[in-house]
Amino acid sequence: MLVLSLFSNNAEVISNFITLVERLASYMYITSKTSNQRIERYSKAIHKIDEKDIMGALETLELSQAEQHEFLEALNGDIYLLPARKRTYVVLRLDQFESDNAAEYKSKIFSIEHVLPQNPQHGSQWFVDWPDSEEREAWLHKIANLVPLTKKKNSQAQNYDFD
């Protein structure tokens, strides 16, 4: 709130601040940082804001190279195997980036579907397209293989071949 108050005439600073806070919060959430780690990181930024040092605050919110690497490793991992809330957050956040918020999902009817099914039927096109079982398994739970769907559409999709 203080940043919005101090920089109400500078949309660029406010936009950068919000982007960095969101990125940091996402990183700490997905990589399971402890509450102490989160408090320590945010307190550094708050201290800089209190001093009206917005550039210093922005610097404290930036992810280091190591943090960027850790975040990318987590996002390149088996997203579907994350706890449900984290998995849902990642899939919906990516969908928001890609759809410009055009799609809307209600939590009671929301689900995540594997494009390449977890258990494809024998003789299906999946075994032709993905003959190597190790490669199928390596990609199965990755973000590239997950799509948000309503539960009704998910049930309809089953393990059918995907054109």
Which has the closest alpha carbon to 61: 88, 53, 94?
Answer: 53
pTM assigned to the model: 0.83
- Judged against a pLDDT cut of 80, whether residue 105 lies above it is answered with no
What is the per-residue pLDDT for 3? Answer: 84
Query: Distance (Å, rounded) from C-alpha 153 to C-alpha 72?
Result: 30
Give percent above pLDDT 90 in the chain: 55
Per mean pLDDT, which range of 104-108, 144-148, 151-155 is the poorest? 151-155
What is the per-residue pLDDT for 158? Answer: 61
| Domain boundaries, given as residue ranges, for the chain | 2-75, 79-157
pLDDT tens digits, residue range 35-57?
999 999 999 999 999 998 989 99
Query: Distance (Å, rounded) from C-alpha 113 to C-alpha 26?
Result: 22
What is the per-residue pLDDT for 154? Answer: 59
Ranked by mean pLDDT, the top range of 2-11, 19-28, 100-109 is: 19-28
CA 49 vs CA 62, 153, 158: distances in Å: 14, 47, 51
The stretch 70-76 carries a mean pLDDT of 97
Mention every residue, 6+ apart, whose C-beta is less than 8 A from residue 78. Answer: 140, 141, 142
Which has the closest alpha carbon to 76: 126, 145, 10?
Answer: 145
What is the per-residue pLDDT for 124? Answer: 85
Query: Distance (Å, rounded) from C-alpha 9 to C-alpha 64?
Result: 29
